[in-house]
Homo-oligomer: A and B are copies of this chain.
Amino acid sequence: MSALAVTGAELDGETVGLRAEDGLIAELGPGVRPADGDEAIDGSGLRLAPPLINGHTHAAMTLFRGYGDDLPLMEWLEKWIWPAEARLEPEDVYWGTRLACVEMIRSGTSSFFDMYWHAAETARAAEEMGLRLVATTAVIDAPRSPGKDRLRDEWLEIVDRLEGFGPLVTPSLGPHAIYTVGRETLEWLAGVTAERELVVQVHLSETEQEVTDCVEANGKRPALYLDEVGLLGPRTALAHGVWLDADELELIAARGATIVSNPAANMKLAVGRAFPYPEAASAGVPLALGTDGASSNSNLDLFEEMKLFSLLQKHTAGDPAALPASEALAIARGQRSQLMGGGELAPGQPADFLLLRTDDPELSVGDPDALLVYGATGSIVDTTVVAGRVLMRHRAVPDADEIIAEVRARAKRLTS
């Protein structure tokens, strides 16, 4: 891999250069200059910043954006989404994910945690587009067909295929939710993911109904049940966690699992509560931020999500000091969860970074963190680099037009 050099960018008020080699930051600082043969990027007038990490999405659901909005949840799922998903081909997932990658690259996301059908197609798309991905297929029990053993073989085969990708792709395995997967399968998943040291992704406590049903069926609340079946550990990403109580948050903190909050989707689908951030933070739970799928958001812009996250927490707490900008930014950068893998820009770290336009009106004056969270949208990202590869420069992502045209054709087939 050839070296990449950025010159003249701003970082913490200084003008700096950055050199990336073999996917890592090799040098960073005021005196850093390009070497002969480096691919050079002029960072003048741009600010160097860590990228954002999308802790929970269903990338290919860009195919179903703007399809059945403003409907009650079950009507939306049963009459709109599920019939459309029943027509999904693997190639649809590939193209839908490519479009999601275009959007994430354009809004400064370097890495995403994804759960969807045909996960190897998700991985193929992410790898081509250059984003990091933690991928899992949606594990859902389907007792009648094609049968328990065959399903397990299929899930394992997908993990094997995911393991065949390059270093950008991390295989993962996880139940869709505790209400769509039975105890036996959950325990089997716990065994497999422990043995193979896999990341676990699961929706947890998104709705009050899930809690009520879990208590009725298992005599305990969802996080305790997930722990009992062996799936609550430091490699577990819990999406939503809206209805978790204080005891569950303590347990999750003790196990080191990460909760991924998705405020836009929670509000849009009206799950009835805000994620209990103050309690989770004081319990020491590792935290991340996600957009959920584009069809329940309806975009993948983590800048917008940071603002919503902070504003919803202030609103809920009745306190404008709740979830300040710097903390929202750290969470969205994956710096509040080891599992998310977000770090600081420093030599030896992955060469994942953004160059932000600072000449937009929204960033003209004021505290930089506050402007990024409350003032900006993803449109301030000029350049996105992941593993030393330039994925966007001056807001142009290669092949974006072709991808949009292809997704339009496929969405039309799936939703008509």
A residues lining the B interface (CB < 8 Å): 62-67, 69-73, 76, 99, 102-103, 106, 264, 266-270, 272, 274, 294, 297-299, 301, 304, 307-308, 311-312, 314-315, 317-322, 324-325, 359, 361-362, 364-368, 370-371, 374-379, 400-401, 404, 407-408, 411-412, 415
- Set of chain B residues within 8 Å of A401, measured between Cβ atoms: 359
B268 and A65 within 8 A (CB): no
- Set of chain B residues within 8 Å of A66, measured between Cβ atoms: 365-368, 370-371, 374-375
Q: A71-B320, A374-B69, A374-B297 are in contact. Are A365 and B408 (CB under 8 A)?
A: yes
Shortest C-beta distance, A376 to chain B (Å), equals 8
- Set of chain B residues within 8 Å of A359, measured between Cβ atoms: 401, 404
Q: Measured between alpha carbons, how far is A267 from B315 in the docked complex, in Å?
A: 5
Q: Measured between alpha carbons, how far is A233 from B341 in the docked complex, in Å?
A: 57
B70 and A299 within 8 A (CB): no
Q: Measured between alpha carbons, how far is A274 from B103 in the docked complex, in Å?
A: 31
Q: Measured between alpha carbons, how far is A314 from B324 in the docked complex, in Å?
A: 24
Cβ-closest 6 pairs across A and B: A66-B366, A379-B379, A298-B374, A267-B311, A70-B324, A365-B411
- Set of chain B residues within 8 Å of A67, measured between Cβ atoms: 365-367
* A-B residue pairs in contact (CB < 8 Å), sample of 9: A62-B364, A67-B366, A70-B320, A267-B314, A270-B322, A297-B374, A361-B400, A364-B404, A377-B379
A268 and B374 within 8 A (CB): yes
**The residue from B269, B325, B408 contacting A69, defined by CB atoms under 8 A apart:** B325
Q: Measured between alpha carbons, how far is A317 from B271 in the docked complex, in Å?
A: 10
Q: Which residue of B lies closest to A67 (CB)?
A: B366
- Set of chain B residues within 8 Å of A315, measured between Cβ atoms: 266-267, 270, 272, 274, 312
Q: Measured between alpha carbons, how far is A356 from B162 in the docked complex, in Å?
A: 39
Shortest C-beta distance, A276 to chain B (Å), equals 15
B408 and A314 within 8 A (CB): no
Shortest C-beta distance, A308 to chain B (Å), equals 7
A404 and B374 within 8 A (CB): no
Q: How many monomers of this protein are in the complex? A: 2
B70 and A321 within 8 A (CB): yes
B65 and A320 within 8 A (CB): no
Q: Which residue of B lies closest to A103 (CB)?
A: B361
Q: Which residue of B lies closest to A328 (CB)?
A: B70
Q: Measured between alpha carbons, how far is A331 from B377 in the docked complex, in Å?
A: 22
Shortest C-beta distance, A69 to chain B (Å), equals 4
A65 and B365 within 8 A (CB): yes
B270 and A314 within 8 A (CB): yes
B370 and A311 within 8 A (CB): no
- Set of chain B residues within 8 Å of A407, measured between Cβ atoms: 364-365
Q: Measured between alpha carbons, how far is A359 from B396 in the docked complex, in Å?
A: 12
A364 and B320 within 8 A (CB): no
Q: A298-B370, A314-B267 are in contact. Are A63 and B365 (CB under 8 A)?
A: yes
A272 and B318 within 8 A (CB): yes
A362 and B318 within 8 A (CB): no
Kindly name the residue among A269, A297, A307, A361 whose own CB sees the greatest number of chain B CB atoms within 10 A: A361
A72 and B361 within 8 A (CB): no
**The residue from B304, B319, B371, B415 contacting A304, defined by CB atoms under 8 A apart:** B304
Q: Measured between alpha carbons, how far is A370 from B62 in the docked complex, in Å?
A: 13
Q: Measured between alpha carbons, how far is A274 from B65 in the docked complex, in Å?
A: 27
